[in-house]
């Protein structure tokens, strides 16, 4: 016997199948097996401060002065950062900045160039 997927709406584990349709008895949500597949593999969407979608390899501009912890340096507003890499963490942009080296930035402090 195979395990049935949990409800995509309320995440209940008590789902059952009826004529090829999955049904949740707790919230009455119904879905097909084809609809369950893509919703589970949705990727996170990264956005800059104005709401533009960011992708790996984009160039961004820093929108405010950012103080660096530990070194006492400051990344000035308007600094361009090329070839960013998006990661799933608190600081969601990994990059290299000339003069500072490798570091992580938050997407809320950048604007797509």
Domain ranges, ordered by start, for the chain: 1-37, 59-112
60 by Cβ neighbours in 10 Å (0-12 / 13-18 / 19+) ranks as buried
Regarding the domain delimited by 1-37, which CATH topology (the fold level of the hierarchy) does it fall under? Answer: N-terminal domain of TfIIb (2.20.25)
Each of the 113 residues of the chain gets a pLDDT tens digit; together they read 457 888 888 888 888 888 888 888 888 888 887 655 544 445 788 999 999 999 999 999 999 999 988 878 899 999 999 999 999 888 999 999 988 899 999 999 999 98
Domain with residues 59-112, CATH architecture: Roll (2.30)
Residue-wise pLDDT tens digits, 49-61: 999 999 999 999 9
| Pairing, β 16-18 against β 93-97 | unpaired
Q: Which pLDDT belongs to residue 57?
A: 94
Nearest-angstrom CA–CA distance, 29 and 58: 39
> What's the whole-model pTM score?
0.62
Q: In the prediction, which pLDDT does 95 show?
A: 94
């Amino acid at each position: 016997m195979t395990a049935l997927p949990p409800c995509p709406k309320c995440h209940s584990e008590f789902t059952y199948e009826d004529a090829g349709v999955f049904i949740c008895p707790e919230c009455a949500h119904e879905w097909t097996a084809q609809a369950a597949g893509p919703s589970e593999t949705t990727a996170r969407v990264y956005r800059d401060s104005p709401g533009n979608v960011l992708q790996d390899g984009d160039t961004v501009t820093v929108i405010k002065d950012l103080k660096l912890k530990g070194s006492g340096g400051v990344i000035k507003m308007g600094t361009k950062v090329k070839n960013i890499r998006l990661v799933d963490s608190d600081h969601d942009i990994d990059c290299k900045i000339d003069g500072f080296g490798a570091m992580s930035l938050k997407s809320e402090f950048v604007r797509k160039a």
